[in-house]
Amino acid sequence: MSIESAGAPVTQLSEDEKMFADAVRAFARDEVAPLARRMDEEQRMDAALIEKMFALGLMGIEIPETYGGSGGSFFDAVLAVELLSAVDPAVALIVDVHNTLVASSIMRWGSEEQRRSYLPRLAADTVGAYALSEAGSGSDAFALETRAEKRGNDYLLTGRKLWISNAKEAGLFVVFATVDADAGYKGITAFLVEKGAAGLTVGRKEDKLGIRASSTCELILEECVAPASRVLGAVGQGYKVAIETLNEGRIGIGAQMLGLAEGAWSHAVKHARERRQFGKALVEFQAMQFQLAELATEIEAARLMVYNAARLKDARCEFRKEAAMAKYIASQTAERVASRAVEVLGGSGFVKDSPVEKFYRDAKIGSIYEGTSFMQLTAIAKIVL
């Protein structure tokens, strides 16, 4: 399994999926890999790279062709996230959030006017961000303090959102606020807010452990104007929008962690083949063979779970349990594989010249965002027990 061949065995993909995977893999190798280290060090996403992802159709994978998108499947989006993550999980994240959270929520919950207005832009040149988390509402996602007050034909949004991925690059935000605090989760409402809206400010960018090229910023809303026509779904249905969208998003994060594990494993194998000790290549030692074989098995198990969840979603079958399981297993696998890859490379793996050092830092977020590992276990337990 190399970066060249990372991804599913060909027997698991249709001919169209193989062609798509080949295109994404080549893009990751030729366009992403040369920029990964610099973007990580500078903590910024290359603007030209984002333009290329739009041009390739990676930012509108599921958007129907009638709205300017690629008309692909959810599985296609998951495959793209996996293959990009094998080179740089930070680049994959912008594709994941944009497709599985923002575009998908508008396709499912948006009015026809909203679809005509926003989907062509999301497919062509406008990055999307998803603003749910706050200082006091992480795992307890619906303990929102951001308020939406109705004034005439507008809503005025006031509050602060934290840890918003894509915030610096985004031109459109899906923002969650409550119109009635006494109504609990039934008062939560989703709004479509454009960059430049009165009262909206993108705050400081977080200095993070990993996925540093991906912007994670505070979002400040001070009586931010959102016309009633920008309510996504219906007033009070924000919790449904969030829950259903995040169930899909968990599969996307599972794919990100799967690709990360594949990338780290590939570098470990390459080093084990090239590095010689005691007159032999490391890969000739049975202890090394067993370690790499064990990791390959764990990666394959994670892949099957991620792919299964994505296929179920595309088939319109129940997939909540499988999504939670896939994210949990993939994030655990990514941490183990990245950690072991650093050990395989030894001193070479502990320095920033090595890609596995970055994979090791990037892996930690998988067990935190879009539902911590503890929350995934809670969700799984509620279903299976």
Active-site residue set: 370
Sign of CA pseudo-dihedral 185, 139, 374, 368: positive
d(CA 199, CA 177) in angstroms, rounded, equals 15
d(CA 299, CA 109) in angstroms, rounded, equals 34
d(CA 254, CA 266) in angstroms, rounded, equals 18
Phi, psi of 147 (to 5 degrees): -110, 150
d(CA 96, CA 128) in angstroms, rounded, equals 10
Q: Which tokens is 336 given? A: 């183990």
- Helices of type H across 73-214: 74-85, 89-96, 104-109, 112-124
CA-closest candidate to residue 232, choices 109, 118, 371, 333: 109
d(CA 62, CA 74) in angstroms, rounded, equals 6
The three-state secondary structure class of 87 is coil
Q: Which tokens is 239 given? A: 């919790």
Place of tokens 């030729």: 30
Q: Which tokens is 382 given? A: 């509620």
CA distances from 186 to 132, 135, 235, 239 (A): 15, 21, 9, 7
Nearest-10 Cα torsion for 96, 101, 104, 109: 180
**For residues 137 and 144, is the Cβ–Cβ distance under 8 A?**
yes
